[in-house]
Chain A
Amino acid sequence: MKKRIIALSMIAAMSAALPGTALAAETSQEQQISVTLTAEPEYTVTIPASVSMGNEGTYVDVTAEEITNLPEGKKISVTIAGTDKYNDQMVVEAQTSPRTSLRYQIISDDGELIETNASTGAAGVGKEVVSFTENGTKQYQIKPVISGRYEYGVAYTGSITFGIEVADAE
């Protein structure tokens, strides 16, 4: 009786295993795997929409969110990459006659003064405004340099191009 039970168990085990093996062989022969990878964004940085400030200047928010896969020892660096004005000057202009402009300065999150100044040779391109190692909001300060010829009650406009990249954290 005992031998009969053992024999039946072996037959059952073999019959269960054989079709599975056959199916696996069949699948590996017929199934083709096709994957097209698309490079997806790994973080989002929210920059201000325009250069906007009052007489006393203003604080501007820059936010980093949805950060994924940021390696250890790295940071997301936000810099000044350029402006819409000649030679990347940090100025805003108004449609006055004759045309007038106002210089502006940025004080980075680390307290560094960023400006363009022909007499001192100061340039803004490449200077870091804020940086992030995790999700969060940081601020920089922007303020006009009120000097020279300018007019009240008119809109002075301009735009900044920000450089955004993953860089080495200091």
Chain B
Amino acid sequence: MQNHRNKKTALWIVLAIIIVAVIAVSSIAIWNFVISGGNEENQESQGIVLDDSAEDWDGNTKDLSEGQAGIKIPGYGDISVPAGESVWNITLANPEDNACYFRYTITIDDDEMPIYESDLIEPGKAVREFEVSEPLDPGDYEIHLNISTYSMDDTMTPMNGAVVKADLHVI
């Protein structure tokens, strides 16, 4: 008998909790609906018109480079050329994926006078043999492959470029 009464009390408590929760949720929903409608009316009455085209902005630095085309620059390790020879066999390439022209200008050590300058090289093409203005004596040097890049439209605007350094062994 006592057991039956306890069960009945517990059932009433659960039912009461459910009823209170439903009333609370409904009240919040009704309050939000009233508030939002009121704000809109207030803004319009004060002459504030929100721009429909405004986008969400999180204020953080965004990665704008996503999908932006880069420029592939070929790099070199050690390069060897024969002493006293003016014809050098070095592949001066413009990788196929690039959307720009390459122009190679080669200088040695701190000398600013180029020993070779290519014409414009299209993407997917390479100069594999060229003649330098001055053969070198045997020894170790630093070769600078200066790569100037240009857009492929009529303006031929200079783009970011590179100086590829490598050890040059003249043997």
Contacts and interface: CB of A to CB of B under 8 A. Distances in A.
Contacts of B146: 161
Q: Is the interface of B mostly helix, strand, loop or mixed?
A: strand
Interface size class of A (residues with CB under 8 A): 35 or more
A28 interface: no
Contact of B158 (A39, A44, A62, A84): A84
A81 B159 contact: no
Nearest to A62: B70
A164 B71 CA distance: 13
Given A38-B128, A165-B165, A159 B160 contact: yes
Contacts, number: 125
A164 B65 CA distance: 21
A39 B69 contact: no
Interface string B95-119: 1000110000000000000000000
Interface stretch (B7-15, B26-34, B35-43, B73-81): B73-81
A40 interface: yes
A159 B64 contact: no
23 contacts: A38-B90, A38-B91, A39-B81, A42-B75, A44-B72, A44-B74, A44-B95, A48-B65, A48-B68, A48-B71, A50-B159, A51-B160, A58-B64, A58-B65, A60-B65, A63-B70, A159-B161, A162-B160, A162-B161, A162-B163, A163-B162, A164-B162, A165-B164
Q: Which 7 A-B pairs have the closest CB atoms?
A: A41-B74, A165-B165, A46-B70, A38-B89, A58-B64, A39-B90, A43-B75
